[in-house]
Amino acid sequence: MAAGAGSGKGVRGAAARGTGSSMARSGRLRSGAAAKLKRWRKGHSSDSNPETRQHRLAARSRFCSRPAEKSNLTVDAVKLHNELQSGSLRLERASDSAQVRMEEDSAEEAATEKSSGTFLSGLSDCTNITFSKVQRFWESNSAAHKEICAVLAAVTEVIRSQGGKESETEYFAALMTTLEAVESPESLSAVAYLLNLVLKRVPSPVLIKKFSDASKAFMSIVSSQACSSSTSALRWVLSCLATLLRKQDLAAWSYPITLQVYHGLLSFCVHTKPKVRKAAQYGVCSVLRGSEFMFGDAAPEHHPAAPSTAKFCVQEIEKAGGAKEATTTLHVLALLRDVLPCFPAAVVKTCCETLLRVMTLSHVLVTACAMQAFHSLFSAQASVACLPAELNAQIITALYDYVPSTSDLQPLLTWLSTMERAHINLARLQKDLCWAHLPRLFSAAMNCFLSPHSQVVSAAAQTLQALLSECIAPHMEDIGTVSASAPAPAAHLCKMFRSVEEGLTYRFHAAWDEVLRVLEVFFETCGKQCHPIMRKCLQSLCDLRLSPHFPYTAEVDQAVGAAVSTMGPEVLLESVPLQIDGKEETLDFPRSWLLPVLRDNVQGARLGFFTSYFLPLAAALKSRALEFTQAGKSVEAKIYDTLQWQVWTLLPGFCTHPTDVLGAFKGLARTLGMAISERPDLRPTVCQALRTLIHKGCETDAERAEVGRFAKNFLPILFNVYSQPEKDGGTSAQRRSVLDTVRAYLTVTDPQMVCGFLEKASAKLTSLESSEFARLSILDLVVAMAPYADEQSLGSLYRTIQPSLQSKERSMQKKAYRVLEEVCAAPHAPCQAFVRSHLQDLQAALLDSLKSAASPAKRPRLKCLLHIVKQLSAEHEPFVTALVPEVILCTKEVSVGARKNAFMLLVEMGHAFIRFGPTPEEAMQRFLLLIYVGLTGSVTMISCTVLALTRLFFEFKDHLEFSVVEQLLQNICLLLASRTRDVVKAALGFLKVTLLLVDTKLLAKHVQTMLEAVGNLSDDMRRHFRMKLRNLFIKFIRKFGFELVKGLLPAEYHKVLVNIRKAESRSRKQRALKKAAAGMDEEEAPPPQPRGDSMEEILADSEDEEEEEEERQRSKEWRKQARQKGQAWLKEGEDDEPLNFLDPNVSQRVLATKPGPKRSRGVSHDFQMSEDGRLIIHDEEEEVDDDEAKGADEEMADVLQDVGLRSKKSQKRRFREEPDDEEAEAGTYSQYRAGGSGIHRQLNKEPAFGAEYRSKKGKGDVKKKGQLDPYAYIPLNRAKLNRRKRAKMQGQFKGLMKGAQRGAKAGRRNRLKSQRS
């Protein structure tokens, strides 16, 4: 060994010298390399071996010395190891000859010996699912784990040797026998763990019968292991005891032995070892709360052991007394937190008195744990037998003596949370008693708003909001109007509101935003009944908003808006007058901000109030505006005109669920009609109000009839306004609003009246005096009225518009088809009867007008055909067949709506063929034969046919046999050889859909055909469709792998494929970085500590793991607190006032938070940071084009775009399927707005600053030849820090500045010359 080490040293030394000489020959070292070289002392350049050799010494000691104890390395073990390595020994075979079977009489030896035979035999084929957890971890290297596996294998072999069925009872009996035989702590732990698993599944009668023997065995182990340094066995035995006790019936608890065993378990709840204590506490909770007899029909109100448990807790707390560390007290309080809701009422009272007594010690941790116990008691929502309402109220009263200081953060948050749960629980038990206690809590919570901690202020506000929502709101309907002199419980409500209202005083100014949010909830909850006591507060809010530099105007607006929505606008305006009447001497209007608040929040108000208050106000403001206009004061006129318009905008809110439609609408209808006809500026607002009234205000038949009664007045006005040219009838948006109002009003109009209007409209259509604009407008109105007419009127209407179906005027033809579409699509009975009776005529008319159908009329025509095809039966198959060529060609119409309808009609025809029968597969094959004919037509027909086949394949893939799909795929691959771009584009779309829909295994044999067809594309096609091909290759690579795709494509595609692979790798890294950065933003939990090799840490139950983590954190905090002696501070008196220890509130001076100035939090940086410290800066202006990161949803979006299910991204308009689905017509109205790319781009858009430098291919900016650099910057170079080079750098900048100044002077001279000339 020494020689080897020396020779190695010599070699390394030579290597180091060689390196040094070569570097010396190479000349001067690169800058910065000197810091990276290791410095050796002179003459010691070859001393590269480390000084410490602990690993070598350890290896040498193992190699040269003999083990002190008996080694497990035997000849048999080596032989078994060789067989395992060679694979000749199968681990799954229990009958292998190398396995050593265990006999029953050697149970102890089997449990302790870690032989390979025992480990392999009974474990891997154990049939009982109870031990599945052990089987999952059988490959662990832990010695404790292998001990468990050895014991389980031995017990399994014993049971099998005796002919057992491996039931839970057999395992229980065998393990209990093994438990009494084993001696080593490791084996005892293993047996106890397995018993803990199996006891949960052993039948209860077995455990009841064997309780005496089992408990005796467990208790003996507990007594022997109580003082042991190892906690594993004790922990699992305590768990077994808890399970055993939980399975006993009610009668067993009357025996002293049961209570004795239980008390033994209970005594470990204050054990010094955390895991033992946690196991005991968990066991006690499971016994008290989860015993089987507690869930039966005759279940007692509380467990028989509950009183003795409470007595134990009280005794332990009193025994600990006022100990400085109070460790035992903390352990008992942790137990009480879980079991207190299980105690009877008398015992709960005793325990609560004890908790209150220990809280007087002013020990920070004891007080916090006691508060947690109270919080769990109230949160459990225990029954009256456990926590009566009177006791709940007494605890609430007592807790006021322990209010922490407003400067004490965590205790105050705990106190607020506990009091919140206490009052919510009291409201559940007895509402009146809760309301009597709420005013005091409101007052105490409002004091918390003065805390310097923002968390306390926020928690106090949330507490008040929760109390209002859960204690007050459910009972507000039971009380009437609340006044200041009302008796209880209304008086309690007044006190609560006064406490919150006091928060508007100046001393609460730092927390006004939270106070306003509480007031908002108060208004929402109680505003309807409590508005008499809230009027003064509303005045204060409005006055506060007008104060200069008030920062919370938005919060005030929300609070006042909540008051408007519950109290109504009348109450608000009585409390806070608008102070606008049209007679103002100044143009100040301090309360004009109320108008937008009213507009956004009015609902459920009286419509008559708008008529009596706001209509005269609007008229006065309008007349004042006219006076100023006549006087030439345009600014004042504009102000008053805006005010009167704001008043009118309140009308839609008043029409939302009004309370007096029957009585008030008749007084308002005449004014609204005049506004529509005479006031174009008010027309959209009034039309919106009418629509809102019809949709959201007419909830009963009587109200609908009342509003519909005025249809004879409103509809003619609306018809006349809509029929006027734009100059008189308003803009296109106003005409659209009028038409929408007509549609809404027709829903409440009498059908006979609609028929009368329809007859007059038909007469005007045929009149020669009507202009083209008038006829088009009348047709729009007819489209709206047609669905509400009777069958006779529809027949005459059909005869009227039938000639227009073949009209040469495109607009007339389109409108005629729209009428027919609405009639066919209407769900009303007369329309459906008309379609059924005129089905033959409709088919003949639509087929005859096929040749004369103009392109704009295609969309409604296809929609009309769609509704007709839905009603066809098998005898109408020739009609559907005749439609196929037209539908296929329409898939490439200019109109997006026409293409969409063509695809929808194509799908509906497929469904019709399936209806025709006989089977879906045969029907689809018959339908596809009709489509295939298009492949023999013109180039346009071929491309349309491929698109149609793609959509049908997407829609009916479940009804197509795979042989049909294969044939279709082969034909599409042949079409890729076409010289026409449209055909190739459609074929590539079909391949994309195929890759998405067909299973990989079925598609594998056609990959070569598809890729060869793609690879044979001409150079022109390859260049033109390079992006489509790239996306297609990405899908191929994801589905079949890179190497396969590369091998099947020609060499000219390999560069693209390699680029795709690199881009995908890059995108994966970017996604990982983004994910890491997102993870850094969130507050991550501390990393879990590495588990040891102990058996309980590896195989612990999942619920125990969470509790262990909590216990670990709590114990760590407790130890830290104990080291700091409770970490409590005593706050001195204010203003040099001496501290009075006899003051009853002196407990508030004991703080858990160190008093002092509030520390500022760390600044949150805008940029995210990755794990390696790099800043992640996202470019806000550009989106990353990441095709590789495209998910399934985006791939589906591409497919839908190709097959007509979704319009292109550049198309901004969306076509709806409602009856108002119309395209803009010249001369009527247009909603088109420029936006997108191509012909839809914005022509008047100014280019962004610096856009000429933006790269077209990559990210960032590029330098342009002959232009300035995109940014003037100084490269970071540390050589510039050299003092000798500083003058050179300064000289460069001097020259730069001189050049700039010369250019500026020359420009100024030229400008002056041009001005003189």
- The structure tokens listed for 88 are 């000749």
3-state secondary structure of 227: coil
Of the pLDDT bands very low, low, confident and very high (cuts 50, 70, 90), residue 791 is confident
Instruction: Encode pLDDT of 1128-1178 as tens digits.
Output: 555 655 544 555 555 555 555 556 556 654 444 444 445 566 555 556 655
Cα-Cα-Cα-Cα torsion 698, 700, 701, 707, nearest 10 degrees, comes to: -20
Instruction: Encode pLDDT of 37-48 as tens digits.
Output: 455 566 665 555
* Residue 126 amino acid letter: C
pLDDT at 56: 62
Report the C-alpha gap between 122 and 157 in whole angstroms.
Answer: 6
Return left, alpha or beta for 810; rule: phi > 0 is left, psi -120 to 50 is alpha, else beta. Answer: alpha
- In sequence order, the 6+-apart residues with CB closer than 8 A to the CB of 277 are 268, 269, 270, 271, 331
- Compute the 3-state secondary structure of the chain and give helix, strand, coil in percent, each to the nearest 5: 70, 0, 30
pLDDT at 1223: 37
CB distance 374 to 399 below 8 Å = yes
pLDDT at 497: 92
CB distance 1024 to 983 below 8 Å = no
CB distance 1242 to 1235 below 8 Å = yes
Helices (H), 1181-1282: 1192-1202
Of the pLDDT bands very low, low, confident and very high (cuts 50, 70, 90), residue 113 is very low
Report the C-alpha gap between 1102 and 1097 in whole angstroms.
Answer: 11
The residue with greater pLDDT, 1118 or 924, is 924
pLDDT at 93: 32
Q: Averaged over 325-342, what is the pLDDT?
A: 88
- The structure tokens listed for 1182 are 């550009």
Burial environment of residue 205 by CB neighbours within 10 A (0 to 12, 13 to 18, 19 or more): exposed
Task: Assess whether pLDDT exceeds 50 at residue 1183.
Answer: no
Instruction: Encode pLDDT of 735-761 as tens digits.
Output: 899 999 999 999 999 989 989 988 888
Task: Assess whether pLDDT exceeds 80 at residue 1238.
Answer: no
Q: Could you tell me the end-to-end alpha-carbon distance of the chain, in angstroms, rounded to an integer? A: 101
Task: Assess whether pLDDT exceeds 90 at residue 446.
Answer: yes
Report the C-alpha gap between 789 and 757 in whole angstroms.
Answer: 10
pLDDT at 50: 53
pLDDT at 727: 66
CB distance 941 to 898 below 8 Å = no
- In sequence order, the 6+-apart residues with CB closer than 8 A to the CB of 543 are none
Report the C-alpha gap between 448 and 321 in whole angstroms.
Answer: 32
Task: Assess whether pLDDT exceeds 80 at residue 557.
Answer: yes
* Residue 3 amino acid letter: A
Task: Assess whether pLDDT exceeds 60 at residue 1209.
Answer: no
Task: Assess whether pLDDT exceeds 90 at residue 610.
Answer: yes
Between the alpha carbon of residue 885 and those of residues 53, 390, 426, 793, 878, the distances in Å are: 89, 84, 76, 34, 13
Percent of the chain beyond pLDDT 90?
30
Report the C-alpha gap between 1187 and 692 in whole angstroms.
Answer: 45
Instruction: Encode pLDDT of 854-877 as tens digits.
Output: 888 888 888 888 888 888 888 888
Between the alpha carbon of residue 429 and those of residues 339, 373, 420, 466, 471, the distances in Å are: 20, 19, 14, 17, 11
Q: Which DSSP string do the residues of 1134-1179 spell out, in sequence order?
A: GGGPPP-TTSTTGGGGEESS--SPPPPPPP--SSEE-TTS-EE---
Between the alpha carbon of residue 354 and those of residues 116, 373, 460, the distances in Å are: 58, 12, 28
- The structure tokens listed for 1269 are 């650099």
pLDDT at 1076: 80
Report the C-alpha gap between 582 and 1008 in whole angstroms.
Answer: 84
* Residue 485 amino acid letter: S
Percent of the chain beyond pLDDT 70?
74
pLDDT at 409: 87
Task: Assess whether pLDDT exceeds 50 at residue 1124.
Answer: no
pLDDT at 98: 30
Report the C-alpha gap between 633 and 1280 in whole angstroms.
Answer: 67
Instruction: Encode pLDDT of 1239-1287 as tens digits.
Output: 666 665 556 667 777 777 666 777 777 777 776 556 666 666 776 667 6
**Residue whose structure tokens are 């096929």:** 850
- The structure tokens listed for 1002 are 């079925």
Report the C-alpha gap between 532 and 479 in whole angstroms.
Answer: 14
The residue with greater pLDDT, 1229 or 1026, is 1026
Task: Assess whether pLDDT exceeds 90 at residue 957.
Answer: no
CA nearest to 692, candidates 722, 672, 667: 672
Report the C-alpha gap between 1159 and 453 in whole angstroms.
Answer: 10
Give yes or no for a cis peptide into 300 (omega within 30° of 0): no
CA nearest to 1131, candidates 1123, 1122, 1139, 1121: 1139
DSSP 8-state secondary structure symbol assigned to residue 1130: E
- In sequence order, the 6+-apart residues with CB closer than 8 A to the CB of 131 are 152, 194, 197, 198
Return left, alpha or beta for 657; rule: phi > 0 is left, psi -120 to 50 is alpha, else beta. Answer: left
Report the C-alpha gap between 943 and 952 in whole angstroms.
Answer: 14
Cα angle for residues 592, 596, 599 (degrees, 5° grid): 130
Task: Assess whether pLDDT exceeds 50 at residue 1230.
Answer: no
* Residue 535 amino acid letter: R
The residue with greater pLDDT, 56 or 393, is 393
**Residue whose structure tokens are 């042991």:** 228
**Residue whose structure tokens are 């928060």:** 503
- The structure tokens listed for 865 are 């055909």
pLDDT at 1077: 77
DSSP 8-state secondary structure symbol assigned to residue 612: I
Neighbours of 907 (CB within 10 A): 19
The residue with greater pLDDT, 430 or 1227, is 430
Report which listed range, 650-654, 1072-1076, 1187-1191, is most confident.
Answer: 650-654
Q: Quick one: which H or E segment has residue 1129?
A: strand 1129-1130
pLDDT at 1093: 38
Task: Assess whether pLDDT exceeds 60 at residue 790.
Answer: yes
pLDDT at 1144: 53
Between the alpha carbon of residue 659 and those of residues 603, 609, 664, 700, 924, the distances in Å are: 10, 11, 9, 12, 57
Of the pLDDT bands very low, low, confident and very high (cuts 50, 70, 90), residue 1224 is very low
Q: Averaged over 290-305, what is the pLDDT?
A: 86
Report the C-alpha gap between 793 and 767 in whole angstroms.
Answer: 18
Helices (H), 1168-1267: 1192-1202
Task: Assess whether pLDDT exceeds 80 at residue 1198.
Answer: no
Q: Averaged over 31-36, what is the pLDDT?
A: 46
pTM confidence score: 0.68
pLDDT at 730: 60
Report the C-alpha gap between 743 and 542 in whole angstroms.
Answer: 42
- In sequence order, the 6+-apart residues with CB closer than 8 A to the CB of 118 are 99, 100, 102, 110, 150, 153, 154, 157
- The structure tokens listed for 131 are 């031990």
Task: Assess whether pLDDT exceeds 80 at residue 265.
Answer: yes
Q: Averaged over 258-279, what is the pLDDT?
A: 90
3-state secondary structure of 1084: coil
Pairing type for strands 1129-1130 and 1175-1176 reads: unpaired
Determine which of 127-141, 663-677, 868-882 has the lowest per-residue pLDDT on average: 127-141
Instruction: Encode pLDDT of 676-730 as tens digits.
Output: 999 888 999 999 999 999 999 888 899 999 999 999 999 999 999 988 887 655 6
Report the C-alpha gap between 385 and 343 in whole angstroms.
Answer: 9
The residue with greater pLDDT, 1086 or 285, is 285
